[in-house]
Amino acid sequence: MKTVSVREFYHNAGLVDGLAEGRQLLVTAKGQPKFLVTKSGRPKMTRALAEQRTVGVASAKSFDGVAFLRSLKK
């Protein structure tokens, strides 16, 4: 775990970009820990995650995009 001061973190926020995935950066002020920054990996979009993030009524019938596109061709 790397430790930096608040001033150094403020002036060089790119320190987080240099962290490896899962590594931590401890930010201190006057020698006391203020907060901990952890770099995590990007979440992968899955069908279940996409369905959770959808907007609308959950009880509504699911939308069939292929059928909609076919109806436009007629």
Segment 26-54, tens digit of pLDDT? 999 999 999 999 988 877 888 888 777 77
The count of structural domains within the chain is 1
Contact status, residue 21 vs residue 11, Cβ threshold 8 Å: no
Q: What is the mean pLDDT of the chain?
A: 84
**Mean pLDDT, range 3-28, rounded to an integer:** 89
* Domain assignment of residue 19, given as a range: 1-74
pLDDT of residue 5: 93
Q: What ranges make up the beta strands (E) of the chain?
A: 2-5, 24-29, 32-38
Contact status, residue 36 vs residue 25, Cβ threshold 8 Å: yes
> Tokens 């950066």 correspond to what residue?
25
pLDDT of residue 59: 67
pLDDT of residue 35: 94
